[in-house]
């Protein structure tokens, strides 16, 4: 049973890493910075 839990934990970690990094690689849209937040 411990092997199953280890496998599930490993697969979950890989899926979480792929989902978290996909925000950088797939969705390139970056909104324009509001004027109130700019350091001008």
Q: 6-30 pLDDT, tens per residue? A: 999 999 998 887 776 655 555 566 6
Q: Which residues contact 30 (CB under 8 A, 6 or more apart)?
A: none
3-class SS of residue 25: helix
What pLDDT shows up at residue 29? 63
pTM of the model: 0.49
pLDDT at res. 23: 57
């Amino acid at each position: 049973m411990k092997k199953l839990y280890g496998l599930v934990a490993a697969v979950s970690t890989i899926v979480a890493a792929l989902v978290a990094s996909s925000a950088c690689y797939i969705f390139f849209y970056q909104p324009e910075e509001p004027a109130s937040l700019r350091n001008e």
